[in-house]
Structure 1
Amino acid sequence: MGALDNLEPKSVFHFFEEISQIPHGSNNVQAISDYLVKFAKDRNLEYIQDEARNVIIFGNATKGYEDKEPVILQGHMDMVAVHDADYDIDMTTEPLKLETDGKKIWAKGTSLGGDDGIAVAYCLALLDSDTIPHPRLEVVITTNEETGMDGAFAIDLSPLKGRKLINIDSETEGVLLTSCAGGARFYARLPITKVHRSGIAYDIEVSGLHGGHSGTEIIKEYGNANVLLGRILAYVSEQNCVSCLSLVSIDGGVADNAIPVNSKATVVVSEEVSEEEVLRSVSEIEGVVKGELSVKDPGVKFTVTKKNKGTFDCFDAESMKKVYRLIMSLPNGIQAMSASVPGLVETSLNLGVVVTKDTTVTLEYAVRSSVDSSKDNLLKRLEYITAEFGARSEITSSYPGWPFNPDSKLREHMVEVFEKMYGRKPQISALHAGVECGLFGKKLEGLDCISIGPDMEGVHTTAEKLSVESSARTFEYLCEVLK
């Protein structure tokens, strides 16, 4: 028996569990894409699989709906694949281990992939059913949304006839998302010079942070492990004068759009420096940071682990200084709040990944703004600062925002259905995060979009959970909208 066999609706959770058995982290989507193709073939459904591994499946209209306009249902097949540091799993090859208490679903030691596995499960349940009434369905499942909407950029939508699109990539039930921020990925690539250095190696690690989605959670101002690690290195090297400290490597985070919860640096100090002095120096800055984050992120922890003695390839003094000063000089977090939508972040960025490879340290940021000129200005600011440190900038995956459509017939219909079902109006919302509606709107003239989804928490983290009851209600609502 599967872990979700007793949950309703059975078809939805059956397909959700099947998906969870196929590793499908971003950039590891071949297997999940082929699974979708097999699903279509087994049911004699027309399908398209492109070179980017996007899949479009066409579902025939049920009896009485043959003359109705097709509806596009859309989600993405990839997930942010992260696991706890002490949980032994290879998420590129091993399935998720789902658990449930009947009210929520989570995965042991890993992220769940409710974002956006629930969309795929909804779509497959609809395509598999011969009892749910609906017009012709054009189901679009894209690849690598979490790493820059690569699939949405690559996909050819010309075969689609529908001009009403329901995106299923939101995370709060009862909310109709009607616009979102645009964004881009920014890389700062800093060249480093290495020297041989003898001494004792230590690992300095930041952990225990809340983390979360860098769009929806950035407003909570959780600690960023990469930024904090840069601060530690600056303090230990300059403020507290631990002599002869050299940097071997610095690495942290898993994705640009996930607020990093772990970051680690390996350093070498001379044998004359005692372990107590190193511990004391890190403890001093830890006390300061804990005070600052006592309410926002109280679980933050700094760990120092003594390793072996030897000779190591280290950054030279100038390279090490540039690394931590660049981390501290580049902005991070909220840059501006919306003047027109109370409580909505307008512009932000997140240092999601730091990685050391050979003679380069790369900083990777997710940049977001609902105002295109503000996004462009922030990217230019990043370029200027990066250049001052002798580093190279690269901007990729720039995608447009999704503007509010004041004449949306789809929104009117979905509000009306919601009121009839629940006796209240849904919330009409904007989001400081990217969904693929903006890109789809650029490709299909006259496209009318709404984004919905069930309640989720902790997305992009190992604390991710999906509400069972909310998933059931949201599916019921989607079916009623199609009916």
Structure 2
Amino acid sequence: MSVLENLEPKEVFHFFEEICKIPHGSRNLEQISAFLVNFAKERNLEVVSDDALNVIIKAPASKGYEDRETIILQGHMDMVAVKEDDCDIDMAKDSLRVKTDGEYIWAEGTSLGGDDGIAVAYILALLDSKDIPHPPLEIIITTNEEIGMLGASALDLSSLKGKKMINIDNEIEGEFITSCAGGATFISELTVKRESVSGVECKIEVFGLKGGHSGEMIKYERGNANIICARTMLEAMDVAELHVKDFCGGMADNAIPFASAANIVVPEGDIAKIKESVEKTLADVKGELDIKDPDVAITFTEVGKTTTECIDKKDAERFLKMIITLPNGPLAMSAAVEGLVETSVNLGIVETSGDKAKTVQLLRSSVESSKAFLVKKLKTVAEAFGGETSMEGIYPGWKYVCDSQLRDHMVDVYKKMYGKEPVLHAIHAGLECGIISNKIKDLDCISIGPDMADIHSTKERLSVKSAKNVWEYLKAVLA
């Protein structure tokens, strides 16, 4: 039985629920890409899929709109797939457990993927309809947007005719995004030695943080679980012997990590000292995040006596000190746009495996020279601790265009429908508009979307009413 079948618009939520049945976390997109290709073929629409699994669909105009200018609709098929520690879903294989109370939609124990599943649902509902008026349409649905816009970077758009594009990857109804920051993923990796250590294996866990999207939420300076976990171990090392077996935290470079954990080995006689140190660190962190992230928790649990391979103590200290030294959070605010973060970096992932210990950060800036200087800073810090660095998923910012026929049209339609002006907004998060604008000369684009909260986290939820409003608005714009 469909969970969302009683929600309006039925056609949109039908396809949204179908998407939620298909695993589609970043880098796990074969099934969802094939689903989109088959959808188009079943409706005799022109469709192509490339080596990056991007899907481009072309749909003819509805009757009476054949002479209108082609419009591009664009979204991405991947989601940030995160789950609660006690959730038994395998996000690489299983469907999401979609829930609703009629007001919001969420997924039990996991992120929902409303970013950007709702865009794909709108597009499929539009293409499936036989009575919605629209001009010729070119659909771009990209892959791996959430890990550096890799699909958009690989796109060949030479066959497209459209010069006006509506990106549906915003999370605030009534807000039109008109420009965004550029960014890149920065990886720092240390080679570490391992040694056999005997003692009591224990676990340090950091959890209870809000997390969230590192573009939209970075300005709130929420706690970073990876940094807190590294700090906890370093402060414990000041008072007792501690060996790091493994350290893992965060699930995506663009999600502020809400949980992080490390397995450590300590001499039995030092357990009390380390427990006391962890409690002190927790008290300090709770005081520092009292308003920003009040539910932070740190636990220390004994697992049992062991003899196991741990990272060499000096190498572990080197890695932990690098983590707390790397820049993190909002680094500069825009002087031109009040409240807009200009430059930031998020330490999204920490991971140790074998002789490697690495961090993965997403950096953003709306000023290219500031982005380049931040890269230099990160590289300098990592190399000072003996690390090697690399970058991937580099994407440009999207510059504001003063003269936009599309924006003027969409503002006019919005005013007629709602009797008020929409908010025109620049954002710190990245959008594929920048990459696509570099591929289609003189592209006129704008980004819209319905209200969503806490995207990229297990608290993510989509507003039913807002999804309906944006659907009606999108149809009006196309008409």
Q: Note whether the superposition's TM-score is higher than 0.5.
A: yes
1:137 matched residue in structure 2: 137
Q: How many residue pairs end up in the alignment?
A: 479
248-257 vs 314-323, which deviates more?
A: 314-323
**Aligned-pair CA distance for 1:245:** 1.2
**Aligned-pair CA distance for 1:395:** 1.2
**Aligned-pair CA distance for 1:205:** 0.6
Q: Structure 1 stretches of 5 or more lacking a match?
A: none
Q: 1:191-340 counterparts in 2 under 5 A?
A: 191-238=191-238, 241-242=239-240, 244-273=241-270, 275-340=271-336
**Aligned-pair CA distance for 1:368:** 0.2
Establish whether residue 416 from structure 1 lines up as the match of residue 412 from structure 2. yes
Q: Structure 2 stretches of 5 or more lacking a match?
A: none
1:358 matched residue in structure 2: 354
**Distance of 2:387 and 2:157 partners within structure 1:** 38
SS of equivalent to 1:403: coil
**Distance of 1:136 and 1:465 partners within structure 2:** 32
- The one-letter amino acid of 1:126's match is L
**Distance of 1:328 and 1:55 partners within structure 2:** 41
TM-score, normalised to structure 1, is: 0.98
**Distance of 1:386 and 1:190 partners within structure 2:** 8
**Distance of 2:427 and 2:221 partners within structure 1:** 16
**Distance of 1:318 and 1:69 partners within structure 2:** 64
1:12 matched residue in structure 2: 12
Q: Pick one of 379, 397, 403 that aligns with 1:401.
A: 397
**Aligned-pair CA distance for 1:278:** 2.4
**Aligned-pair CA distance for 1:334:** 0.6
**Distance of 1:221 and 1:55 partners within structure 2:** 37
SS of equivalent to 1:272: helix
**Distance of 1:339 and 1:271 partners within structure 2:** 54
SS of equivalent to 1:223: coil
**Distance of 2:364 and 2:282 partners within structure 1:** 30
**Distance of 1:334 and 1:76 partners within structure 2:** 26
Q: Could you list the per-position Cα deviations for residues 417-447 of structure 1 after superposition, in whole angstroms to 9, with x for gaps in the alignment? A: 0000000000000010101000000000010
SS of equivalent to 2:378: helix
TM-score, normalised to structure 2, is: 0.99
2:436 matched residue in structure 1: 440
1:157 matched residue in structure 2: 157
Q: Could you list the per-position Cα deviations for residues 142-181 of structure 1 after superposition, in whole angstroms to 9, with x for gaps in the alignment? A: 0000011110011111111000000000000000100000
Runs of 4+ with >2 A deviation:
275-278
**Distance of 2:268 and 2:10 partners within structure 1:** 63
**Distance of 2:128 and 2:114 partners within structure 1:** 20
**Distance of 1:158 and 1:13 partners within structure 2:** 33
**Aligned-pair CA distance for 1:272:** 2.2
SS of equivalent to 1:264: strand
**Aligned-pair CA distance for 1:335:** 0.4
**Aligned-pair CA distance for 1:59:** 1.2
Q: Could you list the per-position Cα deviations for residues 253-309 of structure 1 after superposition, in whole angstroms to 9, with x for gaps in the alignment? A: 000000001101111111222x43322110011100000111100010001111121
**Aligned-pair CA distance for 1:195:** 1.0
**Distance of 2:463 and 2:242 partners within structure 1:** 48
- The one-letter amino acid of 1:470's match is S
1:388 matched residue in structure 2: 384
**Distance of 2:468 and 2:126 partners within structure 1:** 13
**Distance of 1:33 and 1:396 partners within structure 2:** 23
SS of equivalent to 2:145: coil
Q: Could you list the per-position Cα deviations for residues 85-118 of structure 1 after superposition, in whole angstroms to 9, with x for gaps in the alignment? A: 0111101000001110101000011000000000
Q: 1:91-130 counterparts in 2 under 5 A?
A: 91-130=91-130
Question: Could you say what the CA RMSD is over the residues aligned between the two structures, in angstroms?
Answer: 0.7
278-287 vs 368-377, which deviates more?
A: 278-287
Identity over the aligned pairs, expressed in percent?
54
1:425 matched residue in structure 2: 421
**Distance of 2:473 and 2:313 partners within structure 1:** 60
**Aligned-pair CA distance for 1:191:** 1.1
